[in-house]
Every structure is written in structure tokens, then in C-alpha cells.
Structure 1
């Protein structure tokens, strides 16, 4: 199910100059903000929760997911080079699965690790807040990567659609509108963070079981449909 050649080409495309700048800039900004707040306010659990929840998980993780998820396949479809990939003797589900693995790895590396480091800077991992948010970021990375990989297969405006989803739905509606919170990847991941952190340190709008089921369900469904769309693209090209 995993193809090393496809993975190598995908990594090369994702870590190109423009995308690499965005991938490094957001975590760097998080660490700078965290260091500044620690110097100004000292170690504070509420500040750590506000920064890690409000910026890292709600904004940084989905944005990095947009870059990695759509960038894993979108540009190849846009410029037509996907035809050469599809001409290889590689099964379409293998292509999608490999690109998902790469997207998840990149998203988690550039979001979960900086989140953990920022948490230690902010409050030294008091109440396990740093670890909890880092785990939430890693878990959310899987779902975001699958969602944005799917967008990359169904629309040429995947980045725009992804940004609207990340900034409007996850960052805005997902934080402000109660009904929308239960349909937010952020809240599903927070359910796991709530379980890890000290009592009352982190809250989620969904229960742990519901959150995990939704995370797995969305990831599997998005990956399956992306593979189906890739098959359709192949048939269209052959016709």
C-alpha cells in the first residue's frame, strides 16, 4: 500500500521553496509568541491553553494541513503531470495512501512538535497541557491531511477551499457557534487532549468516543473518496 517512489516525489514537491516557507513560518511564529509571553507573564496554565488552543490547534494545524494536504496531489493535477504518475504500474489506492502518509507526516512534524515545544515554553507542561495539545495536533493532522488531500483531487481551487474551511469553519465557527463545534476536527481532537490533561485544564464539546469515531470516520471516508476520484480521473484520461 506504500510506494517509496511516489513518497519521494511527494516530499520533494511539498518541501519546495514556497511551501517550505509557510511550513516553517507558522511554527516559528508560535514559538516566538510563546517565548515572549513566558518572558512577560511567566508560566501560566491559562495562557498556555489560550495560545495552544486558540492559535496552534485552531489556526496553525489546519493551515499547515492545507499546505501539505492539497500540495500532496493538487499541483500534479493542475499542471497535468499526474498523467505520468497514473501511467506507472502503481495501484490508485496505493498512490492516495502514500500521499496521505506523506501529508500526515509533514503536517504532524510541523505542527505537533512545535506545539509541544511551545507548551513547554509557556508553562513547562504543567497539567500535561503541552503533551495534550501536541497529541491533539498529531491526531488532527491525520484528519486534516485526508480532508485536504480529497479537496486536491476534486477541485482546482483546493487551496482556496481549504483556506476557507480552515479559517472560517475551524477557526471562526468552530470556536464561536455551539452547533458547529461538534462538526469541527479541532473539537474532536480536543476530546483526546481533555482526557490527557489535568482535570478542567482543557474542555471539548464532544466526548472522547464520539471524537475518535468521527476522526477515524472522516479520515477513512475522505481517503476512500479521494481514491475513487483518482480512478475517475484515470478513466477520463483513457477515454
Structure 2
């Protein structure tokens, strides 16, 4: 057994325990498996995933796969069939970068032309007036899906943002006020009082921090 595959199976051990403690006893819970790219393409891992999906579905659970590389799924027939055939719900984020070559993905996920048109409206419509910060997602159960806007509060957005300038600006406030909640509250209070756009206010905070 390769070192990478052994490591991958070790990472699955907590999920095995969770599966036996929750799903197989009818309890709710989640503990997603961490699968490195190379390992998921191996025949042994493909067989394991097929067992995993069948077991979870048998006990009315639903396994969830999240990937940024559809090639991880498309490139292995056993993995592809075990995941796609047993996935009742499909969620897609912005697919614009795949628009010119979407036939393989559409065929894999059984996306017809009507659903494809919906998917390519994600984050493309002029529907942001009087709304908080949000991104859109396509969610399909069965054959028909819809595009939904996922709106969060400014507190939530700034807490989970991965943009470095935004994180740095909030961090400067948390350092000044001694805790994350107090710093975040002060940051948002100053931002609303500034009359600036969020990018402009963040730029100002970061510039003041450097001076």
C-alpha cells in the first residue's frame, strides 16, 4: 500500500467511527472524510467510497463530496459512478470558467439545456440593490434546480472572509480592542459611520496601520 493511500485511509478512521456511532444508529451528525487527490483515484479508494455511499444511503444518511477539481471524479469510472449515482442533491457555485467547455460536466451531472441556462446566471444578474453581501449557488434535487442567493450579515461575512486585506483590517481592530467580538463590533461601527464603501474603508484602515 502506498504511503499516500495509507495516510488517506488513516484520515478516514474518524469518519468510520462517526458512521458507526451516528448514521448506523439513526442519529444525525457530520464528519466529512478528507481525501487527497491521488488517493481518491485509486481502485482501493474507489471501492471504499462505493461501500461508504451504499452504507450511508441504506441508513437514510447522505454522504457529501466537495471538490474544486471535477477531474478527480470524472477521471475514475468507479468513483464517478459511486458518487454521481448516489447523490440526490447537487450544488454548483459559479461555473463561468467552464462555460466554453461544459459538455463533459453537463453530461456527467445530467444537466439539460434549461438547467444549464440557470447555472450560467450565477452571480451574473443585476440583482444586488438593497441587499447584503451575497453569492449565488445552484441547488438541484432530482431533475430540476434553482439559483439561490446566499446572504449573510456583515458580521458573518467579515468573520469568514478569506480576502487578506479584509482579514488584516479586522485583525488590526481585534488587536486594538483585545478580543475578536469587540474588535469586530468596533470595526463595523466605524465602517458604518465612515460613509465609505467597504473596500475604501478597508484600504483606509490598512493604510493607517502601515503609517
> TM-score when scaled to structure 2?
0.24
Structure with more relative contact order (C-alpha pairs < 8 Å, separation 6 or more): 1
Please state which structure has a larger fraction of its residues in strand. Answer: 2
Larger Rg: 2
Please state which structure has a larger fraction of its residues in helix. Answer: 1
> TM-score when scaled to structure 1?
0.22
